[in-house]
Amino acid sequence: MVFKRREKLKPLQWLAQSLWPKRGWGRAAQYLKHRLHRLPDTPHKIARGVFAGVFAVFTPFFGLHFVIAFLLAKLMRGNVIAALLATFVGNPLTYVPIGVISMKMGHFLLGTTFDHHHERSFTGKFFDAADDFWRNFLALFTDRDANWDALIRFWHEIFLPYLVGGIIPGIIAGTVAYYVILPMVTVYQNRRRGKLKAKLEELRRKKQAQKAAQKP
């Protein structure tokens, strides 16, 4: 299994390693590169899978990037495992710049602005939206009145701009990843086939030599 761990992590260990892997993000990137190289599929399918995974990271559906990458890879006839691996481009070091770029692009395309003058900050609006959702859910079972103001504000100022604005940078980043991965996997697979062919040729020569030595 690609993602199976030998030992289960405790919650605090999982959080720490999600922020900073045990061997650093550089080693994590090398591991992902190694896994992509060794996938049993064509270079184009692997590269299409990577495109799908990278693009998925630019969507605001946090917690569903695996699902989106999987569906896109299926739609594009790309390698699903490559797509899932590529979603690790999204991590605590990249989500902030990805979010900022996507939202700025979205507000630009929609002709809207983020309300910096509202009493709540960017993070606060996330919490307000979550609180609205929970309170309105409880209102279904109580006599409370539902209030959607925070969710509406979250939709117009954060979610919709992020969703729309992430499309262009997502396509650009996915395309760059595609053209970076494609030649790397192609070279690796050609080299691997060359080594395998050389080994088979060596075995063939040894068998011929053994047969020649056994002749009277």
Q: What is the mean pLDDT of residues 155-164?
A: 90
Angle at 70 between CA 15 and CA 188, to 5 degrees: 90
Q: Which residue has the higher pLDDT, 124 or 152?
A: 152
Give the pLDDT of residue 160: 93
For 58-105, how does the pLDDT look when each residue is reduced to its tens digit (9 = 90+)? Answer: 999 988 999 999 999 999 999 999 999 999 888 878 888 998 899 999
Neighbours of 82 (CB within 10 A): 26
| Sign of CA pseudo-dihedral 120, 123, 127, 128 | positive
Neighbours of 106 (CB within 10 A): 24
Pick from 48, 64, 161, 177: nearest CA to 111:
161
For 6-20, how does the pLDDT look when each residue is reduced to its tens digit (9 = 90+)? Answer: 555 454 444 344 444
Say yes or no to pLDDT of 130 above 70. Answer: no
For 171-205, how does the pLDDT look when each residue is reduced to its tens digit (9 = 90+)? Answer: 999 999 999 999 998 988 888 777 776 777 777 77
Q: Which two tokens stand for residue 109?
A: 């395309």
Specify the pTM.
Answer: 0.72
Q: Which residue has the higher pLDDT, 169 or 141?
A: 169
